[in-house]
Structures are given as structure tokens and as C-alpha cells.
A and B are shown apart, each in its own frame.
Chain A
Amino acid sequence: KNQVEQSPQSLIILEGKNCTLQCNYTVSPFSNLRWYKQDTGRGPVSLTIMTFSENTKSNGRYTATLDADTKQSSLHITASQLSDSASYICVVILTGGGNKLTFGTGTQLKVEL
């Protein structure tokens, strides 16, 4: 079982609408949680980085939230644009030394006219 679960697996929304992507994790203790956007054929690009003590972090139309008690994070996209069509990946980075990155398998978002 993947230690970082993302839902939904895929999502289609109309341009201009809002959407929320979910990330549930079981790994701990963690140092920080990151959301990446990956366009088709490109490398991932960082959207937000949150430490375990932060509840929310925004980057333009992207807002990430974190609930360390329930081990849940969400990425909210406001007023979606066609260019938001991409895969969104949640990554949990563990503490304790070493590069312990645990990746979710991503949510594939498609924004349509």
C-alpha cells in the first residue's frame, strides 16, 4: 500500500471552476510536504512547500493546506485555466536524516473549455 495516497486519480473540470486535490499520508515523522505540478513531457515544478507546523501556503491561484493531526493535505486551485491541465504530485519528506522522499502517484487534472 502506497504510503502517500492521492485522490482523485484523475479529474476533468471546466475552465474557470475551482477544484481540490487530496493527499493522505501514513509516513511520519515528516519534515515537510510539497506539491508539484508536472506538465506532460516536462519535469515537476514546485508549487508549495509546507513544514509540519504550517497549515496553509499559497502560490497565486494554488493554495495548499495541511492537517498534521489527520495526516491530510489538499491543493485547491482557484479559477482554473487550460494551462492547469497537468499531473499534480504530493511528496512527503521524512525527518531523521537521509533523503527520504515518498511520492504520491499523482492526480491527473484536465481543464476543458
Chain B
Amino acid sequence: KAGVTQTPRYLIKTRGQQVTLSCSPISGHRSVSWYQQTPGQGLQFLFEYFSETQRNKGNFPGRFSGRQFSNSRSEMNVSTLELGDSALYLCASSLTTGVDQPQHFGDGTRLSIL
């Protein structure tokens, strides 16, 4: 069974631009969560989608948004990029939503802002 696939693996953008990251969950998984990982802050939860609906949201500004499609694939969008948005963005999928659900992570998209 294929794992969680994130594309692209690497991305370079400049300040003020916007970016869209993609995540394909494990087949059959309906919940997708997004995380930001930086050396200083570690892993931080962005949001979770289940059945095309945002179920939970972390403490990030509105520039960070996402959506989920009917096939459970998810995209994350960041608008008006800032230097501080440089990070590894990780996606994790699980069968369903709920705090007891094991999560399977992709290898992330490394976003660099110049």
C-alpha cells in the first residue's frame, strides 16, 4: 500500500508570493492533517480535514488555508509569503478523525522563502 505522498518535495518562493502544497493520503484514509516544522518551534499543528470539512485548526494566521477533495486528497495554501514561513510542511493521514487515531506522515515539502 502506498504511503502518504506530498508534492512537491522542495519549493523556493519569494516574499509576497503564494504557494499551494499537495498531499495524497494512504488509500482509504479520510482524515488529513497538516503541520509546520521549524528548527525553533518544532512541529506545530495547522489544521485537520475530514470528509472535505475542516475539523480542527491550530493557531496560525488566515494566510494559511486548506481544503480537501472528495477523494480525500488535500491541498494547503499559504498567501503573502513571509520569510518566517520557511519550514518543512508535513501532512499526515489517518483512517478517520479522533485523537486515538494513529497518523501516518508523508516526507514533507521543504519550503524556502527568499
Query: Which A residues are closer than 8 A to B by beta carbons?
Result: 31-32, 41-46, 49, 51, 89, 91, 93-95, 98-101, 103-106
Contact = CB atoms under 8 A, between A and B. Distances in A.
Contact of B42 (A46, A94, A106): A106
B64 interface: no
Given A89-B43, A106-B42, A42 B107 contact: yes
B7 interface: no
A42 B45 CA distance: 17
A32 B103 contact: no
A45 B4 CA distance: 12
Contact of B100 (A31, A42, A91): A31
Nearest to A99: B56
Contact of A31 (B33, B44, B99, B104): B99
A51 B92 CA distance: 20
A44 B90 CA distance: 9
A101 B45 contact: yes
A94 B58 CA distance: 13
